[in-house]
Structure 1
Amino acid sequence: MSYSELLLSQFAELFEKRDALDKLNSREILHNYGHSEIHCIHLIGKLEEPNVTKISLKLAMAKSSISRIVKKLLDNKDIESYQVECNKKEIYYKLTPKGQELFDEHLKIHSSGRSIDKKFFEEFDDNDSHIVSEFLSKYNKHLEVQIEKLK
């Protein structure tokens, strides 16, 4: 097996384990939601005057995909829509109490995971950390280029 194949295999395994760990750490309330739906809820709770355009830019997803997710979240009563007086054309979203609970649970999972992972990363010396950081930086740039090509 080549190193590139090995890395691809290890990344797939890493993402699967991270996802499994997040699900095990989360309360049942999040189990019926996909990754994109939870991150949509997260952005609605975080952004100022969140709308489909802002969310699609942040998640690097098509507006049509975000619109479908938003419709589902509206139907589930996780979010509600509103308009501002000075701009009746634009539709914005805010969390309902149920949506706020999902948002808070998502933050809790990330905070817990960060704390545990930070302890693990602190076991590495500066040289090893620098090498991994350089690799991840280059890989993130590669992914950004791929995302831009698909937009």
Structure 2
Amino acid sequence: MKNYERIIKSYFRSVREFNEFESVPRDFGTGDLLYSSEIHTLQVIGNNANINLTELAAKLDISKSGASKFTKKLIEKNLITKSKHLSNKKEVVFNLTEKGLIAYLGHEKFDKEVFASIYKILSRFDEKEKEFLESFLDELVLEVKKLNRK
């Protein structure tokens, strides 16, 4: 039981540290301070040209109203555009602006630099250990989601 407690405490300590890291807004080369939710929204749009709100919300794993809130902020900062889809005039789609592309590429570089140390740790594990870790974390997420529904 003691090992379980230590593992769980270590996991949640890492989550708290990561949440603190993510809570700090950063400039990715445009002069705008972007929160984690904003830059991740920008990343999804950059990876999926002409994405609509429903697809964006699904890829971010958030509600459509949450995705709408993030897109409004990014439009105000001139990082994305909102336009009618060419083949379906009722559908609204989002794309990066030139300024948005700068932030997108800046975040890509930032991710590589920041996560290099974590990738180094993971590189020490063999494939079975990585599969176990991924499986454990996936199951843990499902269990925590169940707790959130109670």
TM (norm. structure 2) is 0.75
- Structure 2 CA distance for partners of 1:43 and 1:28, relative to 1, 3 Å: closer
Question: Taking every aligned residue pair, what percent have the same amino acid on both sides?
Answer: 23
Whether 2:139 is the aligned partner of 1:138: answer no
Provide the rounded CA distance (Å) in 2 between the counterparts of 1:19 and 1:106. Answer: 17
- C-alpha distance in 2 between matches for 1:72 and 1:103: 15
**2:135 is matched by which residue type in structure 1?**
S
CA contact (8 A) 1:77 1:98 kept: yes
Distance 1:63 1:13, change over 3 A: same
For 1:70, what is the secondary structure of its paired residue? helix
Residue pairs, 1:1-150, within 5 angstroms: 2-18=2-18, 27=27, 29=29, 32-124=33-125, 126=126, 130-131=128-129, 133-144=131-142, 146=145
Helix, strand or coil: the match of 1:89? coil
Counterpart contact for 2:28–2:104, Cα < 8 Å: no
The number of residues matched between the two structures is 145
Cα shift at 1:79: 0.7
Shift of 1:113: 3.3
Deviation at 1:136, TM superposition (A): 2.8
1:13–1:142 CA distance, 2 compared to 1 (3 A): closer
Aligned in 2, Cα 1:37/1:52: closer, same or farther, shift over 3 Å? same
Mark the CA change 1:23 to 1:57 in structure 2 (over 3 Å): closer, same or farther: closer
Cα deviation, 1:13-50, whole Å, max 9, x if unaligned, reads 324544666799x6565872221111100011001321
Deviation at 1:53, TM superposition (A): 0.7
Q: Is the 8 A contact 2:28 2:106 kept in 1?
A: no
In 1, the alpha carbon distance for the partners of 2:117 and 2:95 equals 31
Question: What is the identity, as a one-letter code, of the residue corresponding to 2:9?
Answer: S
Q: Distance in 1 between matches of 2:80 and 2:28?
A: 19
Query: Does structure 1 retain, via aligned residues, the 8 Å contact 2:57–2:67?
Result: yes
Which structure 2 residue ranges, 5 or more long, are not aligned?
Answer: none
Q: Runs of 5+ in structure 1 lacking a partner?
A: none
CA distance in 1, matches of 2:33, 2:4: 35
Q: Deviations over 1:95-127 (max 9, x none)?
A: 112211111111112222343333333334x3x
Superposition CA RMSD, Å: 3.2
**CA shift for structure 1 position 66:** 0.5
> Which secondary structure state, in structure 2, belongs to the residue aligned with residue 81 of structure 1?
strand
